Structure 1
């Protein structure tokens, strides 16, 4: 297979959509967020905050009343009633083991719809056979389980290192995307994105400081906002999900570096961060990309 292209600021900037005088909140993109649970309410708060900070024109939250009240405390702009949605984010902060039957039916309706869906964590087990445009966002452990679910060998390569390990990762992500007919974004220090049609990219924009709870939920919100803003293009060509997902990964990684105070030139240094700080750094990254100044 052809090695994934390295996704950098110049590549990401081409997919950052800036609003115009003709835009309204609907044309900016409406994100539906169906995440979080009583046990992991913060996942919903983080994803919603990230979607707003990534430029969504509107964010609708669907979930438990308790979680919805926490979302409103942090982001009162959020809408808790149904309506038009141009991209969904599902699964973050939920568990397949505790999922109730009516919730599974609701998720399957979204996965069988026409709007693109970001599928994370507790909803990844429902991805097989879905017809909606999908971006799956597993971390390494979830990725291994996802492959087992669809009858693929785990992508372990304990004896490999460096370029050999990267090549094994690339092949596994590409294979999983083909089998599931979905774009796959395998999260990690080197994030790999692959589409069913064979497009792929690697993203190294982040920092080890991002290895903390909740940052994956932030990525889901950023990705949801970017997909909603490009819903028409996705409807015409699902392969667009690849570069859009890679752009979200770049924005998320760059926001992590900024939130951690990592030196832009050397990539060294920095300090601990929290997931909400990453979300709050997203607007600056998007602005810099739009101006051609992100690194």
Structure 2
């Protein structure tokens, strides 16, 4: 895709082009398999929410490979999920984890996934491993997480400074880390190391609710898996998919809210109808 010199607002007309619609010849493998290592004893709900959202975004199969106890909760909610290891087309890592308290084994498994060179989304407790990857990577921090990540890279910045100029800090982080950055906020900023700059705005304020970010991660993880071939052909596709995920997230929140309060699961449940309306 062309690299805009200024920020480009990502809307329905652009987003619909990045929804992989299955054909009659497709099966669950060709539609995309997403590998997921998320959740923890402290935050099991993050895994449930991310898996729920990914499942409803159109992925062909989902392999959940996180903690066994968390996996049991995932299966209670989504019995379609596979908990056996195997080939995947993309990874979703880190939601519901804490980098400071994760076990050595969890860290080892996260790095193993990153070394496969597949399209990968790093969230929350996997953000510190961004440098361990070799493939197309997108990170999804909020302001405080981005400040912490930049500090690890030798760039000291206050959270208030990022809040004052989120777009510029997203661009700076993308260049410094060599990844695509989806910086969460009332306006979402997506910046790639190659110079793409996209914004997504207009989501309802009700979207600021616990677990909403985990739903966004699940949506984007599914889009990475279903569009893995496009990412292989053009690494800049990652930015378009990140913006599309943010657009779907906000549109599903509008649909679920109807002007009133929503919970994270409400957003995930509204994703299929949101995609149908977008394609129509």
Tell me which interval the TM-score lies in, with the shorter structure as reference length.
over 0.9
1:154 aligned residue: 157
Q: CA deviation at 1:22?
A: 1.0
When normalised by structure 2's length, the TM-score is 0.95
Distance 2:90 2:7 in 1: 26
Distance 1:178 1:144 in 2: 15
1:94-173 pair list within 5 angstroms: 94-154=97-157, 165=164, 168-173=165-170
Q: CA deviation at 1:205?
A: 3.7
1:57 aligned residue: 60
1:240 aligned residue: 237
Q: Is 1:256 paired with 2:253?
A: yes
Distance 1:113 1:181 in 2: 17
1:283 aligned residue: 272
Q: CA deviation at 1:11?
A: 1.0
CA contact (8 A) 2:171 2:191 kept: yes
When normalised by structure 1's length, the TM-score is 0.90
Q: CA deviation at 1:157?
A: 5.6
Secondary structure of 1:238's match? coil
Secondary structure of 1:220's match? helix
The more displaced of 15-24 and 125-134 is 125-134
CA contact (8 A) 2:111 2:132 kept: no
Show CA shifts across 1:90-137 (max 9, x none).
Answer: 111111111111211111121222211110001101112421211100
CA contact (8 A) 1:206 1:253 kept: yes
2:214 aligned residue: 217
Find 2:187's aligned residue among 186, 190, 211.
190
1:178 aligned residue: 175
Find 1:204's aligned residue among 183, 193, 201.
201
Distance 1:25 1:90 in 2: 21
Q: Is 1:45 paired with 2:48?
A: yes
Secondary structure of 1:68's match? helix
1:12-91 pair list within 5 angstroms: 12-91=15-94
Find 2:262's aligned residue among 266, 273, 289.
273
Find 1:229's aligned residue among 182, 203, 226.
226
> Where do 5+ consecutive residues of structure 2 fail to align?
none
Instruction: Note the aligned Cα RMSD (angstroms).
Output: 1.6
Q: CA deviation at 1:277?
A: 0.6
1:265 aligned residue: none
Distance 1:290 1:214 in 2: 26
CA contact (8 A) 2:36 2:65 kept: yes
Secondary structure of 1:22's match? coil
> Where do 5+ consecutive residues of structure 1 fail to align?
262-269
